[in-house]
């Protein structure tokens, strides 16, 4: 499944073209509901078409813009490999789709930039990764406290020790056979070296782990915690050689082949949650003590974010504040008008672009008692 890394988020935040379409919707992994997902997308695209028409977009431009997404509604295989939610972004000559382990309320936005606010819970804050390692299987997930979704490792990343070694020319000096495992269709590679077998096996294991690490570090966000699940020998070796800057010291011990994804999520969350809670709590405490550098109004927050002054921003999940910038002044509208943008989305994108930190929280969890909370750098 696709992931939203910091680099990916940058391409979405930095994008600017008129029109730009953002679509969010819930999806299903299995069951009869899967058949309803393409219908929902088709309805959301119809809504986008109506907004484009109201904005005066030429019908030929609208048709070409929506065509790649409409093709997805007829691709049965696409809908058989979904996660909990789908985020789709359309612009002239561009379509991005992300199948994510977080459900979304159906939502369409047509503006001159992509609407990225629903992605903040995925990009930062609660996001962590779980890498399950054994000699027979390599799997990677991304997760939060509630959901877990698998990630497709980059092409060339070995899924097992045997796969890592089958491309190694020096492996010809070793003899191996595959011993079947009870109740499994796959085998375990057993190696017989000619002298120094232990050292050779260790070298082969580390070769495998380094190859895995190359794939993992190119895929995942370097600022999000990575929890290793596996036997102590394998997990500790990987942790020591990994180039990922946020590998968590504590591991989920045991053979991950015997654990369900949700079991791994729960055990990994127990490890990382104190770290995440501590960081978020420190940010809240800093905000509450910020005095004149603390803002709780949408207008002031948006203006400060656009000026690059916001260091830390708390925005509510599932809330939109529609408005625009008129002659340098932030204007809020009670109802969404043509050309409006969600000002909270604008504040989040501007804060992140200026290297600030964005926390997406439930509305009741926004510190300071306002609809938004921001702490200024100066």
CATH code at position 299:
3.30.1330
Domain boundary among 272, 306, 331: 272
Question: Do 296 and 257 share a domain, yes or no?
Answer: no
Question: Do 155 and 228 share a domain, yes or no?
Answer: yes
Question: Do 317 and 252 share a domain, yes or no?
Answer: no
Number of domains the chain is built from: 3
What pLDDT sits at residue 81?
81
Question: Is 159 within the bounds of a domain?
Answer: yes
Question: Do 85 and 169 share a domain, yes or no?
Answer: no
Is the pLDDT at 183 greater than 60? The verdict is no
Question: Is 135 within the bounds of a domain?
Answer: no
Is the pLDDT at 199 greater than 90? The verdict is no
Run of H or E including 278 = helix 261-288
Comparing 260 with 4, which gets the higher pLDDT? Answer: 260
Question: Is 255 within the bounds of a domain?
Answer: yes
Average pLDDT, the chain: 87
| 305-352: pLDDT as tens digits | 999 999 999 999 889 999 999 888 999 999 998 889 999 999 999 999
Indicate the pLDDT class of residue 250, thresholds 50, 70 and 90: very high
Q: Can you tell me the distance from the alpha carbon of 227 to that of 248, in angstroms, rounded to the nearest whole number?
A: 5
CATH code at position 18:
3.30.960.10
The residue segments making up the domain with residue 360 are 290-376
Question: Do 249 and 313 share a domain, yes or no?
Answer: no
Question: Do 80 and 185 share a domain, yes or no?
Answer: no
Q: Can you tell me the distance from the alpha carbon of 79 to that of 44, in angstroms, rounded to the nearest whole number?
A: 16
Is the pLDDT at 84 greater than 50? The verdict is yes
What pLDDT sits at residue 216?
94
Question: Is 119 within the bounds of a domain?
Answer: yes
Question: Do 259 and 305 share a domain, yes or no?
Answer: no
Residue 26: alpha-carbon gap to chain centroid: 15
Question: Do 200 and 301 share a domain, yes or no?
Answer: no
Query: Concatenated DSSP letters for 294-307?
Result: EE--HHHHHHHHHT
Question: Is 262 within the bounds of a domain?
Answer: yes
What pLDDT sits at residue 110?
95
Closest to 5 (Cα-Cα) out of 92, 98, 109: 98
Is the pLDDT at 211 greater than 90? The verdict is yes
What pLDDT sits at residue 7?
78
What pLDDT sits at residue 122?
73
Residues with Cβ within 8 Å of residue 113, at least 6 apart in sequence: 15, 16, 17, 20, 341, 349
Question: Do 78 and 180 share a domain, yes or no?
Answer: no
What pLDDT sits at residue 124?
57
Question: Is 76 within the bounds of a domain?
Answer: yes
Question: Is 158 within the bounds of a domain?
Answer: yes
Question: Do 294 and 263 share a domain, yes or no?
Answer: no
Is the pLDDT at 356 greater than 50? The verdict is yes
Secondary structure E strands in the chain = 20-26, 85-91, 94-100, 107-111, 128-133, 138-143, 148-151, 175-180, 187-192, 226-230, 252-253, 294-295, 310-316, 322-326, 329-332, 341-342, 357-361, 373-376
Question: Do 294 and 268 share a domain, yes or no?
Answer: no
What pLDDT sits at residue 11?
93
Domain boundary among 272, 298, 318: 272
| 133-153: pLDDT as tens digits | 999 999 998 887 777 877 888
Question: Do 267 and 299 share a domain, yes or no?
Answer: no
Domain boundary among 245, 272, 299: 272
- Is 29 within 8 Å of 81 (Cβ atoms)? no
Question: Is 309 within the bounds of a domain?
Answer: yes
Indicate the pLDDT class of residue 125, thresholds 50, 70 and 90: low
């Amino acid at each position: 499944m696709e992931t939203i890394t910091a680099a990916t988020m940058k391409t979405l935040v930095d994008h600017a073209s008129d029109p730009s379409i953002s679509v969010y919707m819930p999806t299903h992994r299995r069951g009869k509901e899967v058949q309803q997902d393409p219908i929902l997308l088709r309805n959301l695209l119809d809504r986008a078409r109506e907004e484009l028409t109201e904005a005066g977009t030429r019908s030929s431009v609208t048709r070409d813009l929506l065509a790649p997404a409409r093709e997805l509604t007829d691709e049965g295989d696409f809908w058989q490999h979904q996660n909990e939610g789908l985020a789709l972004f359309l612009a002239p000559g561009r379509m991005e789709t992300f199948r994510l382990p977080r459900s979304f309320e159906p939502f369409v936005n047509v503006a001159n930039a992509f609407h990225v606010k629903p992605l903040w819970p995925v990009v930062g804050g609660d996001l962590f990764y779980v890498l399950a390692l054994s000699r027979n299987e390599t799997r990677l997930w991304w997760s939060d406290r509630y959901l877990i979704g698998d990630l497709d490792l980059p092409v060339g990343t070995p899924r097992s020790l045997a796969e890592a070694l089958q491309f190694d020319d020096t492996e010809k000096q070793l003899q191996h056979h595959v011993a079947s495992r009870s109740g499994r269709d796959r085998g375990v590679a057993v190696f017989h070296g000619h002298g120094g077998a232990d050292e050779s096996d260790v070298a082969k294991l580390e070769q495998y782990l380094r190859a895995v690490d190359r794939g993992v570090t190119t895929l995942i966000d370097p600022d999000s915690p990575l929890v290793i699940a596996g036997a102590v020998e394998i997990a500790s070796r990987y942790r020591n050689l990994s180039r990922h800057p946020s590998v968590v010291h504590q591991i989920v011990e045991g053979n991950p082949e015997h654990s369900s994804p949700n079991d791994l999520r729960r055990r990994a969350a127990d490890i990382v949650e104190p770290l995440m809670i501590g960081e978020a709590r420190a940010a809240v405490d800093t905000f509450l003590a910020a005095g004149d550098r603390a803002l709780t109004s949408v207008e002031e927050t948006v203006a400060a974010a656009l000026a690059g002054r916001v260091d830390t921003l708390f925005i509510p999940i599932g809330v939109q504040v529609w408005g625009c910038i008129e002659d340098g002044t932030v204007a809020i509208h009670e109802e969404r008008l043509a050309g409006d943008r969600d000002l909270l989305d604008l504040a989040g994108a501007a804060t992140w672009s200026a290297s600030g930190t964005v926390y997406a929280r439930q509305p009741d969890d926004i510190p300071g008692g306002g609809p938004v909370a921001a702490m200024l750098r100066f």
